[in-house]
Amino acid sequence: MFQAASISKPVTAVAALALVQAGKLDLDGDVNLALKTWRIPVNSFTDQSRVTLRSLLNHSAGITVPYFPGYPAGAPVPSLGEVLNGAPLWCRALARFELSAHDWFALCAPANTAPVIVDHEPGARFAYSSGGYTIVQQLLIDVTDKAFPELLEELVLKPFGMTHSSFLQPLPKNVAQNAATPYRASGAPVPGGPHTYPELAAAGLWTTPTDVAHFALGVLDAWTGRDTSVLSQATTLQMLTPGLGDYGLGLIVRGVSPHRRFQHRGVNDGFVSSMIVFENGDGAVIMTNGARGGELASELMQSIAAEYDWPDGQP
């Protein structure tokens, strides 16, 4: 098993859209009206425009925190609310002193990233935000009153046949034995093993290349209308319609028919993954357990693209 990193985002998006179909979420309503245990702090930007589920999924909500570094094995892990509230500014400034994980958590708040807030007008521009997907995580928990791993198992993993996947962080011991060891760019293993990511919606999926392929084919089948048991074709067309830039609702969407495709990449500490699927069914999933895995994935993708005559040669 590998950490899928940001490939967790499209999986989360499918779950959110399934709840929209079920009438439990409003794609274009003010998410603060649906959030219960935590709300997006109101400021001058939210006074101008509301944050919606659609804008969170396509990274146009003006939300901060593009990336989460995770928490070293054995370190205290913050709650979801603590992640959303973030670490104080003075505490984040200590990062430049290269404190050990033990010293950091002795001095600082549990979270190791900034507060998740709106820092520019929602809907004004694309700004990639893992923080935005962490809000989606809280939203899904609030509207269903279910634990996120359980909910995603029910809405996405099981229906798409992802039998070797889990959003549990960290993995239970009986499952962790199947996890790949992550490696840094130096070639040394990540100390203590994989980081823990409580930001499940943004970066928390454990999975395999085969299971990611099952997911991709599930989205493709919904897109073409072959199987609409999870998402309707109309909903999937919305998912695969780019917003600001080339990002749809959880997936990057590029090309024109007959070469349209959706794709995503993921990077966690010691893990790099890439997924691309064309509307004709061609595609590839590459998952690596090394920080330099992106270089390998790029070479492999170029070879696959040449073999299958993909139009751009490189996703």
230: DSSP letter? S
Instruction: Map tokens 């990062």 to a residue.
Output: 95
pLDDT number for residue 46: 95
278, β-bridge pairs: 261
Query: Does 172 map to a domain?
Result: yes
Characterize the bridge pairing of strands 206-207 and 252-254.
unpaired
pLDDT at 110: 83
Instruction: State how many domains the chain has.
Output: 1
Nearest alpha carbon to residue 156 among 117, 119, 207: 207
Q: In a 10 Å sphere around its CB, with 0-12 CB exposed, 13-18 middle and 19+ buried, how is residue 62 labelled?
A: buried
Residue 249 in domain: yes
Residue 314 covered by a domain: no
**Does a structural domain hold residue 313?**
no
Q: Is residue 115 within 8 Å of residue 85, measured between CB atoms?
A: yes
Measured CA to CA, the distance from residue 198 to residue 68 in angstroms comes to: 9
- Euclidean distance between CA atoms 135 and 97, whole angstroms: 30
Judge whether 53 and 27 are in contact, CB under 8 Å: yes
- CB half-sphere exposure, 6, CA atoms < 13 A: 22
The alpha-helical segments, DSSP class H, found in the chain are: 8-21, 44-48, 53-57, 80-85, 89-93, 101-107, 130-144, 148-152, 173-176, 200-203, 209-224, 233-239, 293-308
Bridge pairing between strands 2-3 and 261-268: unpaired
pLDDT in tens, the chain (315 residues): 999 999 999 999 999 999 999 999 999 999 999 999 999 999 999 998 999 999 999 999 999 999 999 999 988 999 999 999 997 665 656 655 566 655 656 666 689 899 999 999 999 999 999 999 999 999 999 999 999 999 999 999 999 999 999 999 999 999 999 999 999 999 999 999 999 999 999 999 999 999 999 999 999 999 999 999 999 999 999 999 999 989 999 999 999 888 899 999 999 999 999 999 999 999 999 999 999 999 999 999 999 999 998 886 455
Phi, psi of 68 (to 5 degrees): -115, 130
**CA 287-9-20 angle, 5° bins:** 145
Rounded Cα distance, 285 and 250, in Å? 17
Q: Where residue 254 sits, what CATH number does that domain have?
A: 3.40.710.10
Residue 315 forms part of a structural domain: no
Task: Give the span between the Cα atoms of 147 and 221, in whole angstroms.
Answer: 28
Range of the domain at 185: 2-308
Supply the pLDDT for residue 256.
86
Distance CA 115, CA 305 (A): 41
